[in-house]
Amino acid sequence: MALIFFPIERWFQGVTVGIRLLGIVFSVAAVHGADISTKLEDMEWDDRQQRTLTRRAIEALSMESNEWHHAESEHFVYHFSERWMAERAASESETYYAQIKEDLKIDQDRWEIKGHIFLFEKEVLWRSFVAKSGIDRWSGGVCSGNEIYLLSPPKAQPFTGTVLPHEMAHLVVSRFVRGHVPVWLSEGFAEQQGRRRFLAYTKPRGHNLWVPVHPISAETYIPLEELTSSSDYPADEAKVRSFYAESLRLAQFLVEDHPKQDFLEFLQCMADGLRFATALDRVYGVQYRDLETFETSFKKVVITKKGGWVDINPQR
C-alpha cells in the first residue's frame, strides 16, 4: 500500500516533488517531458469479464459519478475515464512488471489471467471510493491481490510517479510468493522497488529526478530483531517514519548489495514462517555467519550522521 499524507509541494532542479507521508512515499513528476504511450486495445466490457473481478472492483465500476472505459495491454486491463491515463500507465506498468520480476530472478511467468489497474482521475472520486471500500483514508494507491487502484496524477505530469511501481511490487509478490509476507518486508521491498524502478524509468527519458529517503541515525535505528519480528506497523507513531525508512534500506541492502543471492527465496522463507535469522542463514549464510555479523554490516551502510533527507543511489 502506498501511504499518502498532506502533500507539500517544493521545487528541486525544475522538478515538482510531491512529498507524502512525512517524506516516506513520494510522487515525483517532471513538469515537461515526452509523451509516454504503448499499444492499447480497447475493450467492450461485459458480464463475462465482470466475473473475474472482486467485489471491491465491481463497486468501483458501479460508481455513478464516473464513466469508465476499458483497454488492455499484454499483462493488464486498465479501467479509466480518459485514454491518456491508460496510455501513460500502460507503458510504465508493463516495464515495471518485467523489471521487478527480473530483480526477483523470475524467468518463467505462467500467469494467464491479466491484472486490473483502476485509474481514478479526480481526487473527490478517489476519496469517495476509499471511504466506501474501507481503504485507509490516507492511501493514494493500493494493491489487492490481482488488482491495483490508483489516484492518477494530472495529465500535465508525464509520469505516474512512485506509487505505481510500489503497488506493482506488491502485485508481483502476491503472484509469485505463496503465503503472507511480513508487513515490514512487504512494504520495504515495495518502497525499494517504487524508488528504484521509477528512477530507472525516467532517467533514460531525460529526467534526472531525486527521490530522497529519510535518514536513520543511531538514535532512531530499530534493532533488526525488533524490526523483523514485528507483525504490524509500529503502535508508536514516532517510529512509523523510521519503520518505513529502515524497511526500505534493509530490502535495498538485501536486493542490491547481494545480487547473486536469491531474494525471491528469502521472501518465500519469510512467508513460510521462518524467523529472519533462519531465512537469512538459508539464503545469505555464505556471506554472514550469524545475524550479528549481518547487522554490523547493515548498520555501516544505513546509519548516517547527516541531518535532513539523504539520497541513495538506486543503481549501486
- Same domain membership, residue 235 and residue 198: no
Confidence check: pLDDT of 299 > 70? yes
Q: What is the CATH number for 113?
A: 3.40.30.160
- Same domain membership, residue 177 and residue 38: yes
What is the Cα–Cα distance from 5 to 22, expressed in whole angstroms? 7
∠ CA 143-61-55, rounded to 5° = 60
- Same domain membership, residue 90 and residue 232: no
- Same domain membership, residue 47 and residue 142: yes
Average the pLDDT over each of 8-12, 42-46, 139-143, 191-195 and give the range with the smallest value: 8-12
Confidence check: pLDDT of 119 > 60? yes
Q: Is residue 315 part of a domain?
A: no
Average confidence (pLDDT) over 261-265: 96
pLDDT of residue 76: 96
Confidence check: pLDDT of 269 > 90? yes
The amino acid at 174: S
Average confidence (pLDDT) over 44-68: 88
Using pLDDT thresholds of 50, 70 and 90, give the confidence band for residue 37.
very low
Range of the domain at 115: 2-205
pLDDT of residue 126: 93
pLDDT of residue 159: 86
Using pLDDT thresholds of 50, 70 and 90, give the confidence band for residue 66.
confident
Confidence check: pLDDT of 40 > 80? yes
Using pLDDT thresholds of 50, 70 and 90, give the confidence band for residue 210.
confident
Average confidence (pLDDT) over 216-233: 92
- Same domain membership, residue 157 and residue 61: yes
What is the Cα–Cα distance from 113 to 37, expressed in whole angstroms? 23
Give 273-287 pLDDT, tens digit per residue.
999 999 999 999 999
Q: Is residue 240 part of a domain?
A: yes
Under 8 Å between Cβ of 210 and 203: no
Confidence check: pLDDT of 314 > 60? no
pLDDT of residue 136: 75
- Same domain membership, residue 150 and residue 238: no
Question: Please, what is the average pLDDT of the chain?
Answer: 84
Using pLDDT thresholds of 50, 70 and 90, give the confidence band for residue 208.
confident
Give 158-206 pLDDT, tens digit per residue.
888 899 999 999 999 999 999 999 999 999 999 999 999 999 999 888 8
- Same domain membership, residue 294 and residue 186: no
- Same domain membership, residue 244 and residue 121: no
Confidence check: pLDDT of 73 > 60? yes
Q: How many domains does the chain have?
A: 2
Give 124-170 pLDDT, tens digit per residue.
999 999 988 877 777 789 999 999 999 999 998 888 889 999 999 99
Q: Is residue 31 part of a domain?
A: yes
Confidence check: pLDDT of 82 > 80? yes
| Cβ contacts of 295 within 8 Å, gap of 6 or more | 223, 224
- Same domain membership, residue 157 and residue 20: yes
